[in-house]
Amino acid sequence: MSDEKVPFLDLVTVHRGLQDEFVDILKTALSTAGFIGGPMVQGFEQDFAQFCESRFCVGVGSGTDALRFALIAAGIRAGDTVVTVPNTFIATTEAISQAGARPDFVDIDERTYNMDPLKLRQYLEKECSWDSGAKRAFHKQTGNPVTAVIPVHLYGQMADMDPILDLATQYNLKVIEDACQAQGAEYFSKKENRWRKAGSMGHAAAFSFYPGKNLGACGEAGAITINDENLAQTCRLLRDHGQSKKYYHDIEGYNGRLDAIQAGFLQAKLRHLKKWNGQRQEIAQRYNKLLAGAEGGVTLPYEPDWSRSVYHIYALRVADRAQLQKRLDEAGIGTGIHYPIALHLTKAYEGLGFRIGDFPVAERAVSQVLSLPMFPDLTSRQQDRVVAGVLKSLAVASRSGSR
């Protein structure tokens, strides 16, 4: 069986033991016609808020909805600028644009691939000027007020939140965590001297339950976690056409509600999430151990001592990624690239006027990262096959001098 394929992601095995429970959830929905809102949604919202150590959770249709509603509820308006990182999924910047604001970027940390707080400081100090009357930083080139920052907890690892939150306080910025890949991730806040959960630190946080995420629905789903009650209430309005009562619209909103059936599935799966994240962490440690001596200049994921990553993605970094990916593909091993192009250089943002070289750390990273198979059910045997494939390919590469 040594030529058995290893998929990048296996979403079949994980649901095998859950089928009976899911059928019961479907039967409940059918017998009560509770398809949208109702007790299943509220039940999940309560459980997920508790899981994230956040006061409120508002279930929505997707992670993109969550980001968009969180920004709008936080007061981001047309003409604002919102800062994030270039190496994220486009939903982060789509939400910024769709809230009416202009996406802007700061570069990332070379080792964690997350927002570099120093680069954020330099951006605010050098590229912006502080207006003490308006209590705003204005971007010098565009004249826009910079009103929010979105740190992305990429690959399941939280961004360095303490200094980001300090800068946000100093410059009057809202902080929206993009926690779409980080359900259950933790960060040790030196300021508070305690571990904090992803989704509990910013003004609001966005989660995606796209099927492949650490907590995935069987369809589309997302959620916002929030500590402020008014902000939570605005998000509830935004997801449901601004209705405070059926057909009484306080504001204009969206159709961005969470399906009751998905909420039921998510509530059932949430009970396993801690165990699943633990399995991912064990798999990551085993990859680290087995790949530690690899030839060919491979960089393994870096987890600072203030971070407990939940390894949504296990990404290697190699000079010749195309070659490694091709060799693994030939060996029947699935891989992914998250993400192949930095957003400031993607076609959709041509109009923003960025150039190659604007964010060199992110640009280098996106050209070299390769994601290996990572899911809780990945067996040791499958993992051994992946490791053997990687080691063999890297050894060949270093012998032929193509590193």
CA distances from 316 to 322, 336, 369, 387 (A): 13, 11, 6, 12
Which of the stretches 11-19, 58-66, 186-194, 388-396 binds ligand PLP when contact is defined by CB under 6 A?
Answer: 58-66
Q: Name the residue whose CB lies closest to ligand PLP.
A: 63
Does 91 participate in binding ligand PLP (rule CB under 6 A)? yes
Which of the stretches 120-128, 143-151, 173-181, 252-260 binds ligand PLP when contact is defined by CB under 6 A?
Answer: 173-181
With CB under 6 A as the contact rule, the residue among 188, 210, 276, 314 that binds ligand PLP is: 210
Which of the stretches 15-23, 83-91, 249-257, 319-327 binds ligand PLP when contact is defined by CB under 6 A?
Answer: 83-91
Distance CA 200, CA 178 (A): 11
For residues 142-161, which are near ligand PLP according to CB under 6 A?
152
- Note whether 363 and 85 are within 8 A (CB): no
With CB under 6 A as the contact rule, the residue among 87, 144, 200, 208 that binds ligand PLP is: 208
In 99-242, alpha helices (H): 117-122, 161-170, 229-239
Decide whether 88 or 262 has the Cβ nearer to ligand PLP: 88
Decide whether 51 or 89 has the Cβ nearer to ligand PLP: 89
What one-character-per-residue DSSP string does 343-354 give? GGGSGGGGGGT-
Least distance in angstroms from the C-beta of 378 to ligand PLP: 20
Strands 136-139 and 128-131: antiparallel
Pick left, alpha or beta for residue 299 (phi over 0 → left; psi -120 to 50 → alpha; otherwise beta).
beta
- Residue with token string 């204005």: 138
Decide whether 182 or 390 has the Cβ nearer to ligand PLP: 182
Least distance in angstroms from the C-beta of 105 to ligand PLP: 14
Least distance in angstroms from the C-beta of 263 to ligand PLP: 14
Decide whether 115 or 137 has the Cβ nearer to ligand PLP: 115
Decide whether 137 or 221 has the Cβ nearer to ligand PLP: 221
| 364 burial type by CB count under 10 A (0-12 exposed, 13-18 middle, 19+ buried) | middle
Which of the stretches 21-29, 61-69, 75-83, 110-118 binds ligand PLP when contact is defined by CB under 6 A?
Answer: 61-69
For residues 266-285, which are near ligand PLP according to CB under 6 A?
none
Helix H, strand E, coil C: the string for 87-131 is CCCCHHHHHHHHCCCEEEECCECCCCCCECHHHHHHHHHHHEEEE
Least distance in angstroms from the C-beta of 295 to ligand PLP: 32
- Note whether 239 and 197 are within 8 A (CB): no
CA 393 to chain centre: 30
- Residue with token string 């195309």: 322
With CB under 6 A as the contact rule, the residue among 54, 92, 277, 335 that binds ligand PLP is: 92
Decide whether 137 or 217 has the Cβ nearer to ligand PLP: 217
CA 141 to chain centre: 29
Instruction: Give every CB contact of residue 260 below 8 A, 6+ residues apart in sequence.
Output: 29, 34, 35, 36, 37, 38, 40, 41
Least distance in angstroms from the C-beta of 124 to ligand PLP: 23
Distance CA 252, CA 238 (A): 7
Least distance in angstroms from the C-beta of 90 to ligand PLP: 8
Which of the stretches 85-93, 97-105, 288-296, 385-393 binds ligand PLP when contact is defined by CB under 6 A?
Answer: 85-93
Does 64 participate in binding ligand PLP (rule CB under 6 A)? yes
With CB under 6 A as the contact rule, the residue among 178, 240, 259, 303 that binds ligand PLP is: 178
Contacts with ligand PLP by CB under 6 A lie at 62-64, 88-89, 91-92, 152, 178, 180-181, 208, 210, 222
